[in-house]
Structure 1
Amino acid sequence: MIHFAIVSRSTDGLALVANSDSPLVSMHPGLEDAQRKIKLLSRISARFPDRCSLYCGSYVIHFITALDLTLLVLCDVTYPQVLAFSFLSDLQKEFLVFFDKQKVLTVQRPYSLIDFDIPLQRLKHRYNNPRSLNTKVNLQVLSEELRLRPPYVLCEEELRPGYGQRSNNEVTTTAASPFMRYLPLHFVGIVSLSLSCFCALLNFTRAVHIINDTHAHIGQEFDTEHYQTGATFFVCCFLSLYQSYLICYPHKRRKALACATLGSICVCQLYLYEHRSIFGLIFHVTVACYGTFVIITRQMQSKLPQYTL
């Protein structure tokens, strides 16, 4: 069930409205601690991504940040996540209908919008009786959204004062690194990835062939150059696979790594110019340049500012 909900202003953490404390607080110390944490989160929500969850033993806090508002809910850990975020979405809609944005931005005192307490209690009562929601709430779209972009799970360490701050007191988003990801790979990227894997396969088969051929003539004369050539083909195979990795997975130094990989591939092709045709050299270098272009230009998917459900 839902125990507590609060709406705050995300720009400065000012609490605007919250429902009355649950009578179960004094009976359950864990609930009291979770309620303390949700009030703390309402003040520091600007540090975190726009959709988060914090697990507190038998309870969980979910919150979203959108349109200069942070909406938080404290519920049992067994309460369905999709219902909790649906509650926050409905809470946001009703709050913005009840108060205009200018009113929200000009409030100076905490809990000044207590007039919203009755609609908040009514909405909370509805979501604590899920049977009444079967015909009123369409959860399919939200369920898919949560599956594709699940909430970032906070740890209690991130609630400490000063966590995620730089020396110049600039607040950073503690979840930026795990939250960053590539946008879906489009046709151009798929072609580049396929060609890089194909080049890796060609290099691998060529390396195996040269090593086997060297072993077949091992009794005649030991040829170091053949082993070096085979090793170079293996290196080319590794570089092509690494380029494929950079195409698929983001790295904070991906541009420098992509350029270094391209340079290494070109050097290897120069070494192998006697063992490839001109067409083969041009093909491998072109594929490497194409892959580097895809890596450098591929867009990142980061936190969506002012996201609304």
Structure 2
Amino acid sequence: MSVILFASVVRARDGLPLSASTDHEQNISVQETKKHLKVLSRKLEQLPDRCTMKRGPHHVHFISSLGVSYMTLCSDSYPSVLAFCFLEELQKEFITAYEMVPINSAVRPYSFIEFDNFIQKTKQRFNNPRSLTTKVNLADMQTEIRLRPPYPISPQELGLENGITHRKDPTYKGIAPRLEPVTLTGIISCLLSLMCAGLNLIRGFHSVESLLQNDFDVSCVIAFFLGTAACLYQCYLFVYCSSWRNTKSFLAFGLICLCNLYLHELRNLWQLFFHVTVGAFTTLQIRLRQPQSKSPDYNV
């Protein structure tokens, strides 16, 4: 049967899905082709603004404009002219409904999932060509496709063959997970860590001056600067998400403890207690501030 099976709106620069048709009960072949479509969405900036790809019993078509791509998955017998007219209608409505600022600043997948209402209505209309009222549009599109045909993409060009991904795009890094909102105690711990880093840095420079004037132990200078680096790295781990984040924070805290243990002759008990306590407090805040849970996929 000649029908449009799926449609999505994707940000071209990073492949972030902005909206998609929420389809249910699709067969395995459609699901496999949708995986190809996800790989394709990561390479949109490298491709022309109008492309088509055949995969088994399906065709994938897309157009791109103003940093947004409109993609559709159809049965291979569905007329390409109708498919591109369908994409143009999605493009006109999406540009009218949303401004570029929220589109460019979106960080969560499917931030404009409400656009699915328009996708579903338009898809139903184009799946019943007799109900189409715009005949001039079809004629214009036929002429445009004849003069500038879509660029044909092969699965091998995407690194796909027989439905299997053979290589990953090294330039695609995905969407970095966001951390939970900052709390007041977290801000305080970060400020205290910066204070400890500053104190270590000042003492480190003073130690360098003493080293130039007499036989001051160079290892103490290194300990001060390592303590500075460990405190600053804890601040970085608190602000940004990275792999093995909790382990790195414990290692940084261990380095703070070792530096202060080595510098025990140059600091009194209260100074040592302050630096170690701040390090432990910041480590706890890093542990408590976890990445946000993954957003739902809305069955797309």
Band of TM-score, shorter chain: 0.5 to 0.7
1:162 maps onto 2:179 in alignment: no
Q: Quick one: which of 255, 268, 272 aligns to 1:264?
A: 255
Q: Which residue of 2 is the match for residue 148 of structure 1?
A: 106
Structure 1 residues 59 and 293, CA gap change in structure 2 (3 angstroms):
same
1:204 aligns with 2:167: no
Equivalent AA in structure 2 for residue 74 of structure 1: F
Where do 1:5-24 residues align within 5 Å?
7=6, 14-15=29-30
| In 2, Cα distance between equivalents of 1:177 and 1:81 | 18
Question: CA separation in 2, counterparts of 1:53 and 1:284?
Answer: 48
Out of 286, 296, 299, which is 1:305 matched to? 296
**Aligned residues, how many?**
225
- Please give the residue correspondences for 1:1-309 in structure 2 after superposition, counting only pairs within 5 Å: 7=6, 14-15=29-30, 41-45=33-37, 54-55=44-45, 57-59=47-49, 74-75=62-63, 77=64, 79-82=65-68, 84=69, 111=75, 124=87, 126-127=89-90, 130=92, 133=93, 137-140=96-99, 143-149=101-107, 157=158, 159-160=160-161, 161-163=163-165, 178-183=174-179, 185-187=181-183, 188-216=185-213, 218=214, 222-224=215-217, 227-301=218-292, 304-307=295-298
The code of the aligned residue for 2:177 comes to: R
Q: Deviations over 1:188-236 (max 9, x none)?
A: 43333322222111101011112213323x2xxx343xx2222211111
Are 1:181 and 1:250, in contact at CA under 8 Å, matched by a contact in 2?
Answer: yes
Give a deviation string over 1:96-149, Cα, whole Å, max 9, x none: xxxxxxxxxxxxxx959x8xx98x787545356x4xx59x94213x74144232
- Identity across the alignment (%): 23
Report the secondary structure of 2:97's partner residue.
coil
Structure 1 regions of 5+ residues with no counterpart? 17-39, 63-71, 92-109, 166-171
Structure 1's 306 and 200: CA in aligned 2 closer, same or farther, altered over 3 A? Answer: same
Preserved CA contact (<8 Å) 2:264 2:272: yes
Q: Cα 1:156–1:148, aligned 2, differ >3 Å: closer, same or farther?
A: farther
Unaligned runs of 5+ in 2: 8-22, 53-59, 110-155
Aligned residue type for 1:42: K
CA distance in 2, matches of 1:302, 1:156: 34
- Contact 2:160–2:166 (8 Å) recurs in 1: no
TM-score (ref. length: structure 1): 0.55
Question: CA separation in 2, counterparts of 1:179 and 1:7?
Answer: 23
Q: Which residue of 1 aligns with 2:150?
A: none
Determine if contact 2:5/2:75 at 8 Å carries over to the other structure: no
Give the match for residue 106 of structure 1. none
CA distance in 2, matches of 1:41, 1:14: 6
After superposition, the C-alpha distances for 1:287-307 in whole angstroms (9 at most, x for unaligned) are 211221222232224753315
Relative to the length of structure 2, the TM-score reads 0.56
